[in-house]
Structure 1
């Protein structure tokens, strides 16, 4: 009977978690909360941040030595595989802070392990999108070759390339902005998380556009500081994303993985 009730409860769940209406300026508040979490856990935050800085240097070195193939392999093995796993650890640090615990790397790794299956599903999806993106980039180079430094050819090449890249970035951002936090927060599957994320972005376009813009600015700052700025900015963005998810998504229909203070009776 208990199993039957459990299955019936699963069948009555919505296929997508409802989202709240978000004020266009909400991402600024998320960043402030992300900075507060960074200050509350500077040690673990910097460790994860410098891991991402190290990956950035390795990818740059691989690109320098092996060309585009090094870039592709570096991005797939580094950011695509390790990025989601590191993001889950950052979300758990925010959870530990909300539970009034002292954040530790061991606890974040232990909790992230429970979501590893869904994180790997996300990784496979990202690899497929990335490979399509790489193929599109090669086609752009074939149809719009830049053999000589003529401004018209250069502007056309970068214009088309940037437009195509922006489309793929938008797809990845829309599918992932709240999906990973949701599988960390609730006992649900990656497909539900992705659909929930897409729904939230489409219903709150202005706020999420600002959030994407702020992420782009932070990444640009990291690039201009020879990646060193990413040691701080990436953890802050991870914590801010967690807080953005909590403000934006109502996933109360699914069982919580962790008992946060606001979830207690």
Structure 2
């Protein structure tokens, strides 16, 4: 695919002509990576699934079942960071390098410059910020409504209004966070750049390919939400496939500068 410069971001250029066929090709390549090295995908996905199940059980034990919905809605925000090891698997397969546990797990530390760790901090802050916003929305709609703190509260008019507002606000925040991370995290695995450069590149790629990358975001969001319904178990396959596929979409989008 011919890439064109959208913004003067050294030392890379970003494509401006992503098509739906690129998304399909990325998904096919991601599935091929998962089939070739399933142990890595299952390992990282199982950590994610285990964390989700722990969160669900903890919220019930704490008597806070209402927080299941905002927690599960915000949980996909941390998915890109859990896919860092998968990016390394795809990178190594593409480069013809041996895929070994030490190298894959080592990729989570980044290239020794703490840039990935800083991005991990941003991911944590984003999830925490969403939970704070969700708490504020809950307080506004429910504080004086007289509706009990149970899941049945979402079936009331006040609860449905809260869901509508929360969904809209959450979608805006998730799209902004997605634009920041969709190319920056694989770029930090691929190149020795600082996290600000990676974020700027990701935003430039999103701006230049907004229709296709919004479609990509929608595909991921819908698929991950559906996969979370059966006790998160669908994520054992979908999370690795989308993780690998995101790497291949990054490689189609971010190129070396001339």
Answer whether TM exceeds 0.5 for this pair. Answer: yes
Q: Structure 1 unaligned runs (5+)?
A: 1-12, 254-265
What are the Cα deviations for residues 130-186 of structure 1, in whole angstroms up to 9, with x where unaligned? 333222212212222253467432331111111111111111111000101111111
Whether contact under 8 Å (1:16, 1:195) holds in the other structure is no
From 231, 236, 258, give the equivalent of 1:231: 236
Deviation at 1:79, TM superposition (A): 7.9
In the alignment, does 2:108 pair up with 1:103?
A: no
Partner of 1:19: 14
CA separation of 1:81 and 1:217: change in aligned 2, threshold 3 A: closer
From 168, 185, 188, give the equivalent of 2:193: 188
Partner of 2:146: 147
From 205, 216, 222, give the equivalent of 1:211: 216
TM-score, normalised by the number of residues in structure 2:
0.81
In the alignment, does 2:132 pair up with 1:135?
A: yes
Measured in 2, the distance between the counterparts of 1:169 and 1:82 equals 12
In the alignment, does 2:157 pair up with 1:156?
A: no
Partner of 2:176: 171
Deviation at 1:199, TM superposition (A): 1.2
Deviation at 1:56, TM superposition (A): 1.5
What is the CA RMSD across the aligned residues, in angstroms?
A: 2.8
Whether contact under 8 Å (2:9, 2:201) holds in the other structure is no
Partner of 1:65: 61
Partner of 2:45: 49
Partner of 1:263: none
Partner of 1:126: 123
What are the Cα deviations for residues 199-251 of structure 1, in whole angstroms up to 9, with x where unaligned? 11111111111111111122123212221111111111110010010001124
Deviation at 1:83, TM superposition (A): 6.0
